[in-house]
Structure 1
């Protein structure tokens, strides 16, 4: 389960390379408009280098262009560290499910190879189903022939979030073990059954290191006049030192699959809202908020003087309030998230970019989503199974 609050025909020659994926940011204004639409819908129901522009869905789900097939068919996908599969809408996805999204047409590609294995995946925001296919993948100018991915035939489980979203699919960047295929209702999932795009970039030598790094752009100074926001960048194959200040501090992955790490504490003014049973966290570019245990998040919000909206589970507070930093301590290093980072204005009321969610057993309590990653440049090192953090430079 994924936790979240939402081409050339031949192989490029192996060479030393950093693959840079520029990232664009969806505006807060658009996020708020779509948030209202989602709430209304729920109420009614009760060495080569390459560049890909990456946008932000709901101010958090950063997406950019890839292509599949020969000739290329282009899609915008979320680059998601909280999952490991690649999927896009297939031509058999109904207009009700996939209206407004481009769909992959296998008959239009000379490189297509049939697979047909059942694909069924569930995210925190919903589920989607389809089947596996094989074709040429291009990301940022680098080409991976024979990449296995999923064609989605039913995205109804993703709900209105997919309908109003500007992403067409997801490209997972978690460990290969998290990639799945099969039907959970018919024999169960088969973990690790699909070689992931990033794993193949590393194993084929298209990038020097199995390392990628996220720099997430923020809002422009003239917001809301300029709604686009600063671009960010995903670097595949290494680190861009121009995007952070100071030194990177690394922490080991505690359990490979998700990018899971151990945190020392999550607190405000010395009050720790984590416990001995909830000190595992996932670093997840596909989640917009800081997510924690429901009771802990209620207590944290109460400490901030926020109120919980029963209809949406959101925490709101008056924008005039002067709120303290949230401190996340990892391997003895304190990472502060200021109110400017975790408050989103909606008129005179501010929404806290926090969510309470029960993430399951084994001590897993927290998700450090984009509200954290926008503040801290984040390095994911698959070879050494570690994650690094450094203060991100201000967007320019």
Structure 2
């Protein structure tokens, strides 16, 4: 596979000890969770399908941003039909990105829920305006509802008002971000953004004039989103918020970490919270700096690796609820779980069921170390109230790489190390 590395000089100077090797001076941001994919233990097919569509559209949007920002086609683009990564000619891949139809969902999304949301608060502007946001490692920009966001999806969300902030500046640019049910569109500004003592004085912020349907309040309680990927996938082509914090504060470790569990969840900026994990981290190097992309060494069922699912590329994405796998690899995965069935007719394309009584345990291996997924998290719920079939949380996508979302991340303490360009996993305390 083609590997591209971008040197982040300001962060490289701060590539110091791993977070568990040094006491971190960090900022703790409590997170709250809302589970929306099942109702009373019965899956919601509309919510499941929209969750997949939203993730696919978001990732493709990042591919387009990578091309616009670097002039290069992201290597993962070749894994969904865009040219030949070995040919040395990116023309076909660039054309594919430019003209590829954005993923859309044909299902009505009003009043439906689109996943598990991990939200916290940020302050924007002077005087500060406080917003709840989703922290998303699968994107790199900040957007909030703006004063002109009057469509139904914006109703009930707190609006960012640049004219009420003495530190806001209009960048003179619009933006358009893709999601499965439509776009988030608006105007770009710079403004002061802060968490506690951390401040980014001129952070790019999108003030949306329109929200796509799935950002309606009933399905998306946060006001907006904070992207925590690399700048190369920023639609604004501007440093993401955490990178801005590191550039402003040379005492801040270029590391952030997540605990995503049913209680006491948090985002820790500036290292890792040693009270929340035990033992050492296992690190997987980032293979291309855009998404938090690492090699998934193996996919296992009952501790046995599936031979065709070794050393595949994956994106570690806190903004995705499920685990997305290539459609052509799903059959091999579910064949290892007795009683599994294709659920295309009952749930949707790319979904499988397995017996609710199953005791199979799924695990993922990174850098030689395997981490189990709690069977309760792998089981999304029953197909219907009297059904003995439950829906699995590994679902199909049109990509030929894996997207590892919260179904896995709730089982581990995860650290994102910008200074050393790696992702670390440790056992929860």
| Corresponding residue to 1:370 among 401, 406, 411 | 406
Residues 95-138 of structure 1 deviation map (CA, whole Å, 9 limit, x = unaligned): 32312211111222222211131211224565321120121112
Determine the structure 1 residue equivalent to 2:5: none
| Corresponding residue to 1:164 among 214, 219, 222 | 219
Preserved CA contact (<8 Å) 2:36 2:116:
no
* Alpha-carbon distance in 2 for matches of 1:116, 1:352: 46
| Corresponding residue to 1:201 among 245, 259, 267 | 245
| Corresponding residue to 1:272 among 296, 302, 306 | 306
SS of the residue corresponding to residue 180 of structure 1 reads coil
| Corresponding residue to 1:61 among 114, 117, 120 | 117
Preserved CA contact (<8 Å) 1:298 1:356:
no
* Alpha-carbon distance in 1 for matches of 2:265, 2:278: 16
Preserved CA contact (<8 Å) 1:325 1:337:
yes
* Alpha-carbon distance in 1 for matches of 2:220, 2:165: 26
Determine the structure 2 residue equivalent to 1:174: 229
Matched, 1:22 2:30: yes
The residue correspondences of 1:236-275 to structure 2 (distance < 5 A) are 236-269=269-302, 270-272=304-306, 274-275=308-309
Determine the structure 1 residue equivalent to 2:172: 116
SS of the residue corresponding to residue 401 of structure 2 reads strand
Against the structure 1 CA distance between its residues 138 and 265, is the aligned structure 2 distance closer, same or farther, given a 3 Å change threshold? same
Following TM superposition, by how much is the alpha carbon of 1:38 offset from its aligned partner in structure 2, in angstroms?
A: 4.3
Following TM superposition, by how much is the alpha carbon of 1:31 offset from its aligned partner in structure 2, in angstroms?
A: 6.4
Task: Note the residue ranges of structure 1 that are not aligned, 5 or more in a row.
Answer: 1-15, 47-56, 182-192, 219-229
Following TM superposition, by how much is the alpha carbon of 1:377 offset from its aligned partner in structure 2, in angstroms?
A: 0.5
* Alpha-carbon distance in 2 for matches of 1:376, 1:125: 31
**Could you tell me the TM-score, scaled by structure 2's length?**
0.71
Following TM superposition, by how much is the alpha carbon of 1:72 offset from its aligned partner in structure 2, in angstroms?
A: 2.0
Superposed CA RMSD: 2.9
Determine the structure 2 residue equivalent to 1:306: 340
The residue correspondences of 1:1-396 to structure 2 (distance < 5 A) are 17-27=25-35, 35=44, 38=47, 45=108, 60-123=116-179, 126-156=182-212, 158-159=213-214, 164-181=219-236, 193-205=237-249, 207-218=251-262, 230-269=263-302, 270-272=304-306, 274-275=308-309, 279-304=312-337, 305-307=339-341, 308-310=343-345, 311-313=347-349, 314-319=351-356, 321-346=357-382, 347=385, 350-359=390-399, 365-393=401-429
* Alpha-carbon distance in 2 for matches of 1:207, 1:28: 39
SS of the residue corresponding to residue 152 of structure 2 reads helix
Residues 182-230 of structure 1 deviation map (CA, whole Å, 9 limit, x = unaligned): xxxxxxxxxxx21211001111116521100111122xxxxxxxxxxx1
Following TM superposition, by how much is the alpha carbon of 1:79 offset from its aligned partner in structure 2, in angstroms?
A: 0.5
* Alpha-carbon distance in 2 for matches of 1:38, 1:325: 25
Residues 23-50 of structure 1 deviation map (CA, whole Å, 9 limit, x = unaligned): 122146876799467489977659xxxx
Bigger Cα displacement from structure 2, 336-345 vs 283-292 = 336-345
Following TM superposition, by how much is the alpha carbon of 1:241 offset from its aligned partner in structure 2, in angstroms?
A: 1.4
* Alpha-carbon distance in 2 for matches of 1:125, 1:285: 20
* Alpha-carbon distance in 1 for matches of 2:44, 2:157: 19
SS of the residue corresponding to residue 213 of structure 1 reads strand
* Alpha-carbon distance in 1 for matches of 2:43, 2:222: 14
Following TM superposition, by how much is the alpha carbon of 1:235 offset from its aligned partner in structure 2, in angstroms?
A: 0.5
Against the structure 1 CA distance between its residues 338 and 246, is the aligned structure 2 distance closer, same or farther, given a 3 Å change threshold? same
Following TM superposition, by how much is the alpha carbon of 1:273 offset from its aligned partner in structure 2, in angstroms?
A: 6.4
Preserved CA contact (<8 Å) 2:353 2:391:
yes
Following TM superposition, by how much is the alpha carbon of 1:92 offset from its aligned partner in structure 2, in angstroms?
A: 0.8
Against the structure 1 CA distance between its residues 271 and 211, is the aligned structure 2 distance closer, same or farther, given a 3 Å change threshold? closer
Against the structure 1 CA distance between its residues 338 and 365, is the aligned structure 2 distance closer, same or farther, given a 3 Å change threshold? same
* Alpha-carbon distance in 2 for matches of 1:267, 1:379: 23
* Alpha-carbon distance in 2 for matches of 1:248, 1:259: 16
Task: Note the residue ranges of structure 2 that are not aligned, 5 or more in a row.
Answer: 1-23, 51-104
SS of the residue corresponding to residue 195 of structure 1 reads coil
Following TM superposition, by how much is the alpha carbon of 1:17 offset from its aligned partner in structure 2, in angstroms?
A: 3.1
SS of the residue corresponding to residue 110 of structure 1 reads coil
